[in-house]
Amino acid sequence: MRAKNYLKKFIEGIPKAELHLHIEGTFEPELMFKIAKRNGVNLDYKNIEELKRAYNFSNLQEFLNIYYAGCNVLINEVDFYDMTWEYLKKAKEQNILHTEIMFDPQTHTDRGIMFATVITGIHKALTDAKIKLGITSKLIMSFLRHLPEDSAFETLGQAVPFKDWIDAVGLDSSELGHPPSKFERVFQKAKEEGYLIVAHAGEEGPAEYVTEALELLQVDRIDHGNRCLEDIAVVNDLVERRMALTVCPLSNLKLRVVEDLTKHPLKEMLDKGLFVTINSDDPAYFGGYINENYIEIQNALDLSKEDIIQLAGNSFKASFLNKIEKSQMMNKLKEFTD
Ligand code: ADE
Ligand code: ZN
């Protein structure tokens, strides 16, 4: 019991980076109702309790339906600012030094919200976080894979005036039936424009999607990647490339990618030499921010203090920071662990 408490405190204090976080997935019910009222938008749920009761998902699609519905209340720049700022305050409390957040422009532009409104609100909060909280960040623009290729191309075009604010492009939403190959040409253009590349692969989709992300999209990082374990050749390829995977334990539990956290493959991934990190994905929906993800997976898999240090170190090493910034963060980690 004492050892358990000691590790919990250690996890809470350890400096870390978050690399897989959908900003729309940090939209807490309390703030959602507040913004809905401010904007005169009706939610399908009478109150916060009723909304929270709906957070009981059988798969990714059931979650996405509720997540997209919640986004309907986001109308003005200040709404995007407030949502992002709330997450950043939480990140500070949890000793996140650096965060790389995703946003889904099409979720908003498809409802008639301007691309500029969305990105300006998020960008202003990220800038304030650097000044007021000392948190650095990168921004990842993610394409919705259930939409057609031409919609992703259109979004890439809308991003041009804001290129300096965007570091990478990603691929998310309904995975099954929407393989990375559907977006090969868009990602090729994004790469030519100088963006780094990430993609969700192997969350619900097969190991083959991980290979497609590596070979066709030429990703710099894989989001999730769990199902790579079903094909040893894919595992070996990931290890050889030293390709980082952004694993999200509580997300995997809530979306029934695993039936129980004790059956989560994180330890197996570490043992196989995969370059894994721990992240929260959509914390407002999955019952915990990054520290709860570390704490619950540590508990379920009996991870050691050394495993935790390795995972926190991996989060900096797998980030899109430059070499000097990475070594500054690693020094802070070392100061904490020495
Ligand atoms: N969008 C938000 N969260 C997601 C997830 N876990 N997988 C795919 N798309 C998402
Ligand atoms: Zn995700």
How far, in Å, is the centroid of ligand 2 from the Cα of 3?
A: 32
**Cα separations (Å) of 196 from 12, 60, 67, 169?**
30, 25, 26, 6
The CB density around residue 185, as the number of other CB atoms within 10 Å, is 13
Evaluate whether 239 touches 276 at the Cβ level (below 8 Å): no
Q: Is 25 in the pocket of ligand 1 (CB under 6 A)?
A: yes
Q: Check 77, 175, 203, 292 and give the catalytic one.
A: 203
Q: Which long-range contacts (CB under 8 A, 24 or more apart) does 116-120 make?
A: 116/161, 116/162, 117/76, 117/77, 117/80, 118/74, 118/80, 119/80, 119/159, 119/162, 119/165, 119/166, 120/77, 120/80
How far, in Å, is the centroid of ligand 2 from the Cα of 2?
A: 34
The residue nearest atom 9 of ligand 1, judged by CA position, is 173
* Ligand 1 atom nearest to 173, measured from its CA: 9
The CB density around residue 110, as the number of other CB atoms within 10 Å, is 15
Q: Is the dihedral of CA 292, 201, 282, 321 positive or negative?
A: positive
Q: Is 223 in the pocket of ligand 1 (CB under 6 A)?
A: no
Strand partners, 22: 102
Number of domains in the chain: 1
Q: What is the CATH number of the domain that holds 271?
A: 3.20.20.140
Provide the domain limits for residue 258. 2-337
Evaluate whether 251 touches 280 at the Cβ level (below 8 Å): yes
- Residue located via tokens 């980076």: 17
Strand partners, 198: 221
Please count the residues of the chain: 338
Q: Is the pTM of this model over 0.95?
A: yes
Tell me whether residue 154 is one of the annotated catalytic residues. Answer: no
Contacts of 13 (CB under 8 A, 6+ apart): 95, 336
pLDDT tens series, the chain, 338 aa? 666 799 999 999 999 999 999 999 999 999 999 999 999 999 999 999 999 999 999 999 999 999 999 999 999 999 999 999 999 999 999 999 999 999 999 999 999 999 999 999 999 999 999 999 999 999 999 999 999 999 999 999 999 999 999 999 999 999 999 999 999 999 999 999 999 999 999 999 999 999 999 999 999 999 999 999 999 999 999 999 999 999 999 999 999 999 999 999 999 999 999 999 999 999 999 999 999 999 999 999 999 999 999 999 999 999 999 999 999 999 999 999 99
